[in-house]
Amino acid sequence: MSIIGNFVIVFVAGFITALATGIGALPFFFVEEFSDRWNVGLWGIASGIMVSASMFGLLNEGMAYTSGLPLMLAAGLLAGAVLVELSDRILQWLDLGHDHGDGDDDEHRLEAEAFAEGDPKTLILILGILTVHSFPEGVAIGVSFAELGLEGGVPVFGFAVPLLAVFMTVAISIHNIPEGTAIAIPMRAMGLSKWRMVGAAVFSSLPQPVGAVIAFAFVRWAQAFLPFGYGFAAGAMVYLVATEFIPEALETGRELPNGGRGALVIGFVAGVIAMLPLLSV
């Protein structure tokens, strides 16, 4: 397969995860509001899948390319967590001229206001913020495709796609669904059209396919850094779960019995069970 073909496949996988974000806005075509319990459960499923894919997929692959002490893998883990933390700090430092606090709710509200006003300059700035926010997910997709075209892959439309890449694409797609819902909620309150909400949700994840292609190019052209790449993706994913997915779920479920922890745990366990096939590879 040509290198251009490889890049196209990786980009398409990243674009699929971006489209999945739009799914989160589709329920508003049929219902007035989304159940908090359902939202918390989705965040739990996404968290369980991401942690399992990171621990049993990305880290296992990283160890397979490691001889001796896994120093490069450990360095990647630390770098991934640091990137997510720096991304969060950058988002907190950015000021779009609005009176707002910190947190995901403010980020989604700013995006909703940008789409409601239709200001191109603000939308470009929002895209820059989203690039920082979505880059770790894109990296995870790109790194998981490191063995694209090699023997042992899963046949997908005639291409040998690594099983890990399939799982990571599905995992991040599932994560993006509640993210899309969170984006659509303030837009609905502002009276934006349903299709505009879907478009905005997809727009929010467009940096992911770009990040996937960049990461894929890096690990294919610098094979010696594969352990670092796998560790980086795993560190970013686990840190995202700990600092964003779970807090977002608990914030959404704060009015539920026991703060929504029951729905979160059930969702998390369901996500882990869904990833069990990965343990056999």
Do strands 159-161 and 154-156 pair parallel, antiparallel, or not at all (unpaired)?
A: antiparallel
Rounded mean pLDDT of 137-164?
Answer: 77
pLDDT at 19 over 60: yes
Give the tokens for residue 185: 């909620």
Find where tokens 């009015």 sit: 255
The model's confidence at residue 34, banded by pLDDT at 50, 70 and 90, is low
Which DSSP state fits 33?
S
Q: What is the pLDDT of residues 54-98, one digit of tens each?
A: 888 888 888 887 877 888 899 999 998 888 888 777 666 655 444
Q: What are 243-269's pLDDT values in tens digits?
A: 888 888 888 888 888 888 888 999 999
- Gap between the Cα atoms of 158 and 28, Å rounded: 36
Q: Are 35 and 185 in contact (CB under 8 A)?
A: no
Give helix 120-144 / helix 3-23 axis angle, nearest 10°: 120
What does the pLDDT read at residue 16? 92
Q: Outline where DSSP puts E strands in the chain.
A: 154-156, 159-161
The per-residue pLDDT for 102 is 45
Asked if residue 171 lies in contact with residue 275, where contact means CB atoms within 8 angstroms, the answer is yes
Q: Which residue's structure tokens are 């059209």?
A: 193
Least confident of 56-60, 136-140, 161-165, 221-225: 221-225
Residues in the chain: 281
Task: Give CA–CA dist 38/106, Å, rounded.
Answer: 22
Cβ 260 vs Cβ 250: under 8 Å: yes
Q: Give pLDDT, residue 98.
A: 47
Structure confidence at residue 101 (pLDDT): 45
- Picking from 28, 41, 89, 83, the residue whose alpha carbon sits closest to that of residue 245 is 41
Q: What is the pLDDT of the chain when averaged over all its residues?
A: 78
Q: Provide mean pLDDT across the span 174-178.
A: 78
**Contact in structure between 48 and 264 (CB atoms under 8 Å):** no
Across 7-11, 146-150, 198-202, least confident range:
146-150
Q: What is the mean pLDDT of residues 160-165?
A: 81
Residue 78's pLDDT is 93
